[in-house]
Structure 1
Amino acid sequence: MPTTSHQREHYGLRYMMASAPAMRRLKRGNNSRLHGSKNWGAAFLLMEYLSQHPLPPNRSVLDVGCGWGLAGLYCRKRFNSAVTASDADPAVFPYLQAQADINDLTIDTEVWRFTDVPGDALAAADTLIASDICFWDDMAEEVYQLIARAVEAGCGRILIADPGRPPFLAVAEACIEDFYAELVPVRAYTSRPHRGYVLRIENA
């Protein structure tokens, strides 16, 4: 439901649109280099999935390629997760902080590319989440290798949401074969419908 003309609230989380004055002020002096320019739709797919399949409370969550951070903030608010949000582009973090502030939340951040996420961070995470991180063909191998490293490190659950782009589906196919992953269709509804998938790996 709208809270102002530039804010929305879905899944119990308030968030600002790119048109919000606070976000527009940030954009004037803080341009993101890696598509961290708005709230991407697959975050809502992940929130919808998690609303139906809740995480255990008070666990650790690693949100990779976090962008403006909605999925990680949802985990923080809904499940009291200890969230570390990482992104290759530090310019996204002021936007994430603005979203955290309007929800009275705190969240840790790290500047990590997929290839740079430390093994101990993967091992420490009960759940790894990501959304909209595989939109170019040349990203598929890095995303697959990140997943493989997380599985090897013992991360208990991996959840990656995407509207169904071909590079993501290629990664999903490989993960189904190699890690017994499941590709779950999801629909979410905010001010418009979002359709796609959550790639789920349970690493018992």
Structure 2
Amino acid sequence: MIEQNTREAFGLTLYTSAHKDIRKLRRAQGVAELHGNKLWKSSLVLMDYLRECPIEPGSRVLELGCGWGTSSVFCAKTFNAEVVALDADESVFPFVDLHAARNGVSVSTYCERFENLTEEDLSGFDVIIGADICFWDEMVEPLEQVLDLALAAEVGRIVLTDPGRPTFRALAEAINESYEDVIYTDWDVPEPHNLWGLVLDV
């Protein structure tokens, strides 16, 4: 029997906004400043894509703009990855911890803005992931810079997903033009989720 106000997806139990523990955290934490306030559908697109195109087991993974950290939890549980969930808004981290505990994994958290990340910060990771993180015009340039730094730091793989925002398209097209071995495609997630999104896999 599925617990009330949760959903099962890709081997995880995920909380909805109406779950009592989520509501309790919101009362304690207040409203997230940067839209880390719910389960974004692009996270499910990312999980489905990584299920079909997996990362190496035991990878060191950084999630950019983690929000509730569900993609981090997925990588930790599915691939036994060592994961750091990064967000500019530290108020989301209790939601990350809640999902990690519910699914029996451990995820580290780190508060920082994209534009402050350095090549050294990124050099310790094998994989960088992100879902629905390019939602404002002013985020395109900092994210392009982060991806450039990550590739210079020899991060092995970067996978981002998005619902199709013009800002993400601008980022993905710039990266696609600048680098070889880039996959930039749409991705359908079948029933019961019935989702669609864009994928950038570098």
TM over 0.5: yes
Q: Find the counterpart in structure 1 of residue 201 from structure 2.
A: 200
1:74-153 map, 5 Å: 74-153=74-153
Kindly provide the amino acid, as one letter, of the partner of residue 200 in structure 2: L
- Please say if residues 67 and 92 of structure 2, whose CA atoms lie closer than 8 Å, have aligned partners that are also in contact: yes
Separation in 2, partners of 1:16, 1:163: 21
Q: Find the counterpart in structure 2 of residue 38 from structure 1.
A: 38
Which secondary structure state, in structure 1, belongs to the residue aligned with residue 123 of structure 2? helix
Gapped regions of structure 1 (runs ≥ 5)? none
Q: Find the counterpart in structure 2 of residue 5 from structure 1.
A: 4
TM-score, scaled relative to structure 2: 0.95
Displacement of 1:5 in angstroms is 2.1
Separation in 1, partners of 2:147, 2:116: 13
TM-score, scaled relative to structure 1: 0.94
Separation in 2, partners of 1:17, 1:189: 20
Separation in 2, partners of 1:194, 1:117: 31
| Structure 2 residue 41 is matched with structure 1 residue 29 | no
Q: Deviations over 1:83-116 (max 9, x none)?
A: 0110000000001111111111111110011112
- The 3 A distance-change label for structure 1 pair 11 and 100 is same
Which secondary structure state, in structure 2, belongs to the residue aligned with residue 130 of structure 1? strand
Aligned residues: 200
- Please say if residues 10 and 190 of structure 1, whose CA atoms lie closer than 8 Å, have aligned partners that are also in contact: no
Report % sequence identity: 37
| Structure 2 residue 196 is matched with structure 1 residue 173 | no
Separation in 2, partners of 1:149, 1:162: 21
Kindly provide the amino acid, as one letter, of the partner of residue 196 in structure 1: G
Kindly provide the amino acid, as one letter, of the partner of residue 13 in structure 2: R
Displacement of 1:179 in angstroms is 1.5
Separation in 2, partners of 1:106, 1:74: 11
- Please say if residues 118 and 149 of structure 2, whose CA atoms lie closer than 8 Å, have aligned partners that are also in contact: no
Gapped regions of structure 2 (runs ≥ 5)? none
Which secondary structure state, in structure 2, belongs to the residue aligned with residue 135 of structure 1? coil
- The 3 A distance-change label for structure 1 pair 170 and 33 is same
Q: Find the counterpart in structure 1 of residue 68 from structure 2.
A: 68
Kindly provide the amino acid, as one letter, of the partner of residue 11 in structure 1: F
